[in-house]
Structure 1
Amino acid sequence: MLHTSRLEISTAAYQKNITFIRSLIGPKPTISAVVKGNAYGHGIAQLVSIAEKTGIRHFSTFSSDEAREVFASARDTSEIMIMGMLHLAELADLIKKGIQFYAFDLQRLEAASNISKELGIKAQVHIEVETGFNRTGFEWEERKTVLEMLRQNVPFLELKGLCTHFAGAESAQNHSRIQEQIRRFEDFSEYFRRNGIAFERRHAACSAATLLFPETRLDLVRIGIAGYGFWPTRETFEMVKAELSVENPNPLRRLLTWKTEVMSFKKIKSGSFVGYGKGFKASKDMSLAIIPVGYAHGYGRNLSNIGKVLISGEFCPVIGMVNMNAIAVDISKLSGITLGEEVVLIGNQGDNEITVASFAETSDLINYEMLTRLPSQIPRIIVD
């Protein structure tokens, strides 16, 4: 089936990103590829395939449905870890499949222990502790109860990890808070160690913490946005920039290129309105190309009269309102454009580039939001 657009996902770019991250963290910490949010919009199946080619054998998801997608695509030797949502009713199946999961409350920990005992198969759990993010994790006051539950259920649990999550490591304004979280995590680690509970791995670092806080790299790092070629924030890049080489001042490479094609043409006279309403009025005669992508495909309405696409290597501005399924762009300065000609919405064409950040005013979340809003129906194609 043919589609109105496609996403090309670069294997070579991912390899470069992982090579750079490995050069920072050294050979020891396991790299877990975070594939939540449909692999940040890149496609879980596609990302798993690419990541395994680079030697990645650990994948982190938010939910059980994502974990099942990884399970369907990954090699038998790859580990899968659920960091968030699962239903207790599916614990038995997850345990049978060897899928790991966080335990961050007593109900889940108790259920996992009981089901493992019934099955005769150890549940592979990561104990998440609360250090200041205040979302999920066992509180310091619960440590004795958790300790006793772990002691009582040692035969039924495989303690794959002790973990936590940092509250905004990508921003300098949060760094005192992160330092306090690091101290609290060490308190938990020491408490369990002193009481004879050993974990296979300790892990806390997301992309930003991996880049900015070497002491958080521990036994495993959970690499999300950086693996896809984006700095967590511009501020993160500025803090890391001094340590980067002059020869390679921006070592992260974007994996994703979004392409479509010219659907039709339209010539309009000066004074004509374009599209719905009166959002654009031509000040001169113009030639337009109609592109079959709109807000239903993730090309937001906020790009009306602001967005740009690349055709023949040249920037062409969006004219009028972004519709559900189409946009109009000004090609008055171009010649020889034909039906079906390639249009780049994100990526390079010729000497020019359209970045994800250019889709809206820069904000801490624009990369994450834009990527994860790309509909899963758009085909993801792996390229070299």
Structure 2
Amino acid sequence: MNFVNRSWVEIDLKQLRKNLSIYKVELKDSISVMAVVKANAYGHGDVEVAKVLQEEGVKHFAVSNIIEAINLRNNGIVGDILILGYTPVNQSKNLKKYGITQAILSNEYAKQLANQNIKIKVQFAIDTGMNRIGLSSENVASTVNIIRSYSNVFNIKGLFTHLCVADCEQQKEFTNIQIDRFKRVVNEVSDLNLSYVHCLNSAGGLWHEKYGNICRLGIILYGCKPDYSNKLPRGIKPCIKWKSVISMVKKVKKGETIGYGRSYEAPNDRLIATISTGYADGYNRLLSNIGAVYIKDCKCPIVGRICMDQFMVDVTNCPNVSLGDEVELLNEKYNADEMANEIGTIGYEVLCNISERVSRIYKR
């Protein structure tokens, strides 16, 4: 059984295609899209999303780990797959077997991989100021020497860096600094004729210098913003709706309390509906007494704390509500960015937290 009418998301694959098409207009013809499909394609379903993008001509995919990479290969994804994170060195055989490209996170990591004596495809990460992964861009000569020392050990496919504030207009100067640092490293290894050079992420591809020949397109592909303050190109919209159902409707008298901790007290007689979704489904507990859902186009506030499998909403002002009615947790009016903004997080987290027990339904 793959679908239970309890809690599910509907993914609009036509909108996914449209988002890709609109975004590509912003890029130079010489820049290809690398679709970031890690974390189950930000909750949308990595295999289904990657298949659609492959049909649209996307030839490059980025994932977090080797499990995600092999899963794509085993499900018909034939393009380049880059693992952005750590892979245990004892998995080098599988990197080779499945034709997967591994990011080199540090010189120490490169040494450990080299000791496996398996010539795998790699791309070197360059740290230009995020201080997360990569060879330092501060001492260009040292970094270049390290890269060159592995030219016969690995099949070096490219270099990349990550722009950590590309979504922030106020920090544009630092993004420019990062790009300049990256350029200096790239220029010093131009004779290696690397296939791929990339620094652009979703935000970088829209609002910064179009440097390199790859853009790693992530959150905007799915129709959400890198930062809540950002304005996306016209026509790019969220691909996902999250739905649930009402499992119970009851009258609550003035002064009665609702849920764990009795955190909500009815100011007067209210009509309360229980919704069949909870934090075990990835519905954030911080939405307790803050968030809202839509039932029959009525906005209904959450009352009480989010439970593991259920939560309650006030439907007093929503007419003719009954058991089994459909509930929209995410929709056009209240998307992942709006939800995230209410609880002080980001749309990425809202989407990635949608758990595996929430069914994925694809609209083609």
Report the TM-score when normalising by structure 2.
Answer: 0.92
For 1:57-206, what aligned pairs fall within 5 Å after superposition? Answer: 57-76=59-78, 78-113=79-114, 115=116, 117=118, 122-140=119-137, 141=139, 142-151=142-151, 153=152, 157-193=154-190, 196-206=191-201
The one-letter code matched in structure 2 to 1:234 is: Y
8 Å Cα contact 1:159/1:198 also seen in 2 = no
Superposition pairs of residues 1-384 of structure 1, within 5 angstroms:
1=1, 2=4, 4-76=6-78, 78-113=79-114, 115=116, 117=118, 122-140=119-137, 141=139, 142-151=142-151, 153=152, 157-193=154-190, 196-216=191-211, 218-237=212-231, 250-348=234-332, 353-361=333-341, 365-384=345-364
Give 5+ residue unaligned stretches, structure 2: none
**In 1, Cα distance between equivalents of 2:228 and 2:312:** 31
Change (3 A) 1:363 1:259: closer
Quick check: which one's helix share is greater?
1
Cα distance between partner residues in 2 of 1:186 and 1:364: 35
1:247 maps to: none
5+ residue gaps, structure 1, are: 245-249
Distance 1:382 1:328 in 2: 28
Aligned mates of 2:129, 2:344 — CA distance in 1? 20
Q: Secondary structure at the match of 2:86?
A: coil
Please give the alpha-carbon distance, in whole angstroms, between the structure 2 residues aligned to 1:205 and 1:137. Answer: 16
Measured against aligned partners, the alpha-carbon deviations of 1:163-182 in whole angstroms (never above 9, x if no partner) come to 11112111123222211111
Cα offset, 1:221, TM superposition: 0.4
- 1:331 to 1:157, Cα distance in 2 relative to 1, 3 A: same
Separation in 2, partners of 1:365, 1:182: 27
CA contact under 8 A between 2:198 and 2:213: conserved in structure 1? yes
Q: Deviations over 1:51-96 (max 9, x none)?
A: 22322221101222222222222333x2111011110000111112
Deviation at 1:322, TM superposition (A): 1.6
Question: Secondary structure at the residue paired with 2:82?
Answer: strand
**CA offset digits 1:126-162 (Å, max 9, x no partner):** 12222222221112443253244134x1xx5332211
How far residue 251 of structure 1 moved from its aligned partner, in angstroms, is 2.4
Give the whole-Å Cα distance in 2 for the aligned partners of 1:189 and 1:103. 15
Query: Residues 3 and 116 from structure 1, CA distance in 2 versus in 1: closer, same or farther, beyond 3 angstroms?
Result: farther
Contact 2:123 2:157 in 1 (8 A): yes
Letter in 2 for 1:236: N
Q: Number of paired residues?
A: 359
Tell me by how many angstroms 1:276 deviates.
2.3
| Structure 1 residue 279 displacement after superposition | 1.6
CA RMSD, Structure 1 to Structure 2 (Å): 2.1
SS at match of 1:277: helix
For residue 248 of structure 2, what is the amino acid of its counterpart? Answer: S
Give, as a single letter, the amino acid of the residue that structure 2 aligns with 1:88: V
Shift of 1:27: 2.8
Shift in Å, 1:6: 0.5
Deviation at 1:26, TM superposition (A): 3.4
Q: In 2, Cα distance between the equivalents of 1:116 and 1:219?
A: 30
Distance 2:148 2:179 in 1: 24
Matched residue SS, 1:67: helix
Deviation at 1:260?
Answer: 0.7
Superposed structure 1 runs of 4+ greater than 3 Å apart: 110-117, 360-365
**Structure 1 contact 295–322 (Cα < 8 Å) conserved:** yes
Q: 1:228 to 1:46 in 2, by over 3 A?
A: same
Check whether the contact 1:48–1:74 (CA below 8 A) recurs between aligned residues. Answer: no
Contact 2:224/2:337, CA 8 A, preserved across alignment: no
How far apart in 2 are the matches of 1:16 and 1:362?
28
Percent identity (aligned): 28
Task: Name the CA distance, whole Å, in 2 between partners of 1:139 and 1:281.
Answer: 56
**Structure 2: how far apart are the matches of 1:362 and 1:182?**
33
The DSSP-based 3-state class of the residue aligned with 1:205 is: coil
- Code of the residue aligned with 1:209 in structure 2: it is G
Cα deviation for residue 321 of structure 1 reads 1.8
